Amino acid sequence: MQSSLNHTIELPVRFNEADPLGIVWHGHYVRYFEDGREAFGHAYGLSYLDIYHQGYSVPVVKLQCDYKKSLRYGDTILIETVFTPSVAAKLVFHYKVYNAATREIVATGSTLQVFMDLKRNELQLINPTFFEVWKKKYHFDV
Amino acid sequence: MQSSLNHTIELPVRFNEADPLGIVWHGHYVRYFEDGREAFGHAYGLSYLDIYHQGYSVPVVKLQCDYKKSLRYGDTILIETVFTPSVAAKLVFHYKVYNAATREIVATGSTLQVFMDLKRNELQLINPTFFEVWKKKYHFDV
Amino acid sequence: MQSSLNHTIELPVRFNEADPLGIVWHGHYVRYFEDGREAFGHAYGLSYLDIYHQGYSVPVVKLQCDYKKSLRYGDTILIETVFTPSVAAKLVFHYKVYNAATREIVATGSTLQVFMDLKRNELQLINPTFFEVWKKKYHFDV
Amino acid sequence: MQSSLNHTIELPVRFNEADPLGIVWHGHYVRYFEDGREAFGHAYGLSYLDIYHQGYSVPVVKLQCDYKKSLRYGDTILIETVFTPSVAAKLVFHYKVYNAATREIVATGSTLQVFMDLKRNELQLINPTFFEVWKKKYHFDV
């Protein structure tokens, strides 16, 4: 049995992501998280498009981020995305952003997503079948 | 007969729009132009939504921008949007971005948009009727 | 004695803020919060530039957001920013984003900022004098 | 003698780059160009940071983009960046954005950058020495 699933990507900090203080503007971390989540999705068959083709969208309903260190233009970052299973019909991801050079943790965060049934345009209260199958495939027991 | 139609809005430069050199990143001017164009659209009944309700979208197919001066966080800008009529089935806008305090021109630019028929999902080669009516209303002779 | 200080602004949802599902991408709310915070700052003399001129920057070290409803292009929003005093050397803001037409709450959130001494380039552990003065001016007792 | 220098990168289209019509918002191409330019700079020693360490910044003073096709979330793009030498003290880049799957050209564009002397904070009217050396290294004759 598995308790979590991880995926890590490497990204450069873009010039246009740093602010007048020379550090990455805090709002850009939301994109870093989504970049990590989507890379996870492509690695494990759980991208937005995979989910969309099953008839669902997965809007983010809760987001949090703790900023520990600054990032500067020219830095390279690692984004580690961790899927933690949950009994409820939701997707929980945790993120760790590292400075690739120093291996220091720059930020941590999490997102909570729910399933929207695209045909009925309403919240899906129980786990969609495709997601149950997906969790089984990766040996999660909830 | 009218040869052009103008609309001007005032906007603050946001902290998150300035880059590590302290000046507004050049890519944000595309949003300034769209802000100006949409404000024009709301003033004269030619916003994206107005056009959408007529069955069209108006994708930008050409964009240019000349940067003359820098903008800094804390500056206030004026965006002047000018509609110039054209015989062809297209929308041409010119923009002037001013520093509100000094009245200096900070940037000039233009966009060219075409009409896409949303139902047929194809390029509209002749002027849509609603747009002919709109141009008449504002006394343009083309 | 005052227990909090409020400021509300009205903003249109921009076309470029909505995603392929037609709703505002969740990352843009971080900018909405900053827009609200800066408008608060301009109203009460606590903007980034005001603080900068006192020798400090105020990086965001914690952010959270709860998404309740969707926003679409064409919607108008109200952003209510609430300052709540704290004994520690930090800035705490809470945000409520409303759909202006329906008055429904679309999202709530908060940010925590610390003071960085710009000259010494280090975290300021006790409240800067200017901030003590500011809090007195608005009758906060902490 | 060399007449131009090329570099191509591959990038995924991000979910948050597509607009309510499902296609990439036109303003994001400015970032694509900068991504291409910076990757070119890293490949050939002409990145923003390389130039900065020589005492210069290179603000964009002119930008143009022609949009030929649409990009959708899920597409992969190729960005080809071409440096073309010029006698004057400026940087000229041309860009081609391709849909990686179809090899169709999605957009073309160009940017013009000038050299700002960071110490004197003024426009550099003749080619900086480091840039003359750089051009010689790559066998450009202007």
Q: What is the per-residue pLDDT across A8-54, written as a single tens digit (0 to 9) for each? A: 999 999 999 998 888 999 999 999 999 999 999 999 999 999 999 99
Q: Residue C20: which pLDDT band, with cuts at 50, 70 and 90?
A: confident
Q: What is the pLDDT of residue D97?
A: 98
Cβ-contact D90, D138 below 8 angstroms: no
pLDDT at A120 over 80: yes
What average pLDDT score do residues A118-139 get? 95
The 10s digit of each residue's pLDDT in D36-48 is 999 999 999 999 9
Q: Could you please report the per-residue DSSP string of B55-99?
A: TEE--EEEEEEEE-S--BTT-EEEEEEEE---SSSEEEEEEEEEE
Nearest to C124, CA basis, from C55, C44, C53:
C55
Q: Residue C22: which pLDDT band, with cuts at 50, 70 and 90?
A: confident
What average pLDDT score do residues D74-103 get? 96
> Rounded CA gap, D60 and B90, in Å?
28
Whether residues A48 and D16 touch (CB distance < 8 A) is answered with: no
How many Å lie between the alpha carbon of A73 and the closest alpha carbon of chain D?
9
What average pLDDT score do residues A71-78 get? 95
- Subunits close to C (at least 3 CB pairs below 8 A): A, B, D
CATH class of segment(s) B5-131: alpha beta
pLDDT at C1 over 70: no
Q: What is the pLDDT of residue D81?
A: 98
A53–chain C Cβ distance below 8 A for any pair: no
Q: What SS3 state is found at D2? A: coil
pTM of the model as a whole: 0.95
Going by C-beta distance under 8 Å and a sequence separation of 6 or more, which residues neighbour residue D134? Answer: D45, D46
Q: For C14, which residue in chain B has the nearest alpha carbon?
A: B35
Nearest to D106, CA basis, from D39, D28, D16:
D28
How many Å lie between the alpha carbon of C98 and the closest alpha carbon of chain D?
21
What average pLDDT score do residues D12-26 get? 92
Residues of chain D contacting residue C70, judged by C-beta atoms under 8 Å apart: none
C110–chain A Cβ distance below 8 A for any pair: no
Nearest to B31, CA basis, from B109, B84, B115, B86:
B109
Q: What is the pLDDT of residue A1?
A: 63
- Subunits close to D (at least 3 CB pairs below 8 A): A, B, C
Q: Mean pLDDT over all residues of chain A?
A: 95
> Rounded CA gap, A120 and A55, in Å?
10
Nearest to D91, CA basis, from D121, D50, D120, D119:
D50
Is the ipTM higher than 0.85? The answer is yes
Q: For C74, which residue in chain D has the nearest alpha carbon?
A: D20
Question: Domains of chain A: which residue ranges?
Answer: 5-137
pLDDT at D56 over 70: yes
The residues of chain B scoring below 70 in pLDDT are 1
What average pLDDT score do residues A108-129 get? 96
The 10s digit of each residue's pLDDT in B41-69 is 999 999 999 999 999 999 999 999 999 99
C67–chain A Cβ distance below 8 A for any pair: yes
Q: What is the pLDDT of residue D1?
A: 63
Question: Under CATH, domain D5-137 is a member of which superfamily?
Answer: Hotdog Thioesterase (3.10.129.10)
Mutate to test the interface with B, among D26, D49, D53, D57 (most CBs of B within 10 A): D26
Q: What is the 3-state secondary structure (H, E, C) of C73-104?
A: CCCEEEEEEEECCCCCCEEEEEEEEEECCCCC
How many CB pairs below 8 A link B and D? 52
The 10s digit of each residue's pLDDT in C50-88 is 999 999 999 999 999 999 999 999 999 999 999 999 999
Whether residues A21 and C57 touch (CB distance < 8 A) is answered with: yes
pLDDT at A142 over 90: no
What average pLDDT score do residues C2-16 get? 93
Q: Which two tokens stand for residue D46?
A: 């002409």
